[in-house]
Structure formats: structure tokens, C-alpha cells
Structure 1
Amino acid sequence: MNIQALLSEKVRQAMIAAGAPADCEPQVRQSAKVQFGDYQANGMMAVAKKLGMAPRQLAEQVLTHLDLNGIASKVEIAGPGFINIFLDPAFLAEHVQQALASDRLGV
């Protein structure tokens, strides 16, 4: 399982539920700094511009539809509309155990 791909799909679904077009791109990337979580969704700016709304407003609407139960321990909005995702340690531990049990190490 690719964590970034999983998060991207979850955020994309939440963006669509919040009114974004079906071809929206959530731009989920690993965070460069630990204070911003493990991953960030940076796609709110471009999509909000297309929708004619503030990026932070879109991010707030996306959060109401974003279900990361069992995956993230914390999800927050930062700055103009970035969504910071802090992975749940139990989820990470399970992911590592599955990868180690695989003959291909989850690759």
C-alpha cells in the first residue's frame, strides 16, 4: 500500500464532496518540516481559484468530508489553505509490519 496514494485519493474524494471538479488534484506530498505533519495537501489554492472562493474556506469544507480515521492522528489547516496530515503511529506500525511480512517488502 502506498500511503501517499491512499491519502491523495481520500483528499480528492473529500474535495469533490466539497464541490471541487472531479478532475481536481489534491497535491499530497510529504511534508518538508515535521511541524507541518507527515504529509500536506497543497491543492486547495488552485482549485479554490477555479471555484472563486478563498483557499482556506475550501480547506475547511474539505475537512468536513475528509475521513482519515485510523490513518491520521491529527489533521489541521495551516496558512492560506494547506491541509497538514499527521499519521497515526498505530497505522504506521501496521503498515511497516505488512511491508516486512511481504516477500517484496511492500514494493
Structure 2
Amino acid sequence: MASLAQLQSYRATAGARYLAAIVELRAAYVELSGLEGALINANVGGLSDGALQRFRGDADGIPEQLQHPIYAPGHRAGMAAEARAAAEQHIAEFPTPDEE
């Protein structure tokens, strides 16, 4: 049987893992959504929205149900803006026809 101190230690370890997972989920969402935003841009890939299966709507944060007051607070907003900024950066870095 685990002692109270052990349970608290296990909780802290699990909390750190949980925070790392939330951070990775957010980073993966921003990266994937940014790339998809660039691919549907007419100056880059020009793929139609129907030709590219992608996220629907803007997820502007990790869902409230996945928030944790100690281990994962503050991941509630900003993902949509980060994804738009990532797409804009990909688009800006894409070569124009005269640069190819």
C-alpha cells in the first residue's frame, strides 16, 4: 500500500506528464493547423478547402474539460491566433514564381 507521501509524489509526477502532454498537444495543433492554412492559400498550394481534410473551426484553446487548476491552467486561449501566425509565416517564406 502506498503512503500518503508516495501518493502525493505520484500525483506530482503524473501532473508533470500531463502538462507536457497538453503543451505537446497545443504545439502539434498549431503546427498542423498552420501548415494546412498555408496549403489552402492560393499563393502556396491553392488546395480547395474540400480537397484537404483539416480542422473545422478554430480551436482557441485546450478544451475546458482538459484544464487542470494546478498542472495545466492557462492553456485556454490563443491557439487560433498562433495557428494563423504559423500559416502566415509559411506563406511569407514560400517562394514566389520568380524566386524558384
Higher Cα Rg, which structure: 2
TM over 0.5: no
| TM-score of the aligned structures, taking structure 2 as reference length | 0.31
Structure number with higher relative contact order (C-alpha < 8 Å, ≥ 6 residues apart)? 2
Q: Greater share of helix residues, 1 or 2?
A: 2
Q: Greater share of strand residues, 1 or 2?
A: 1
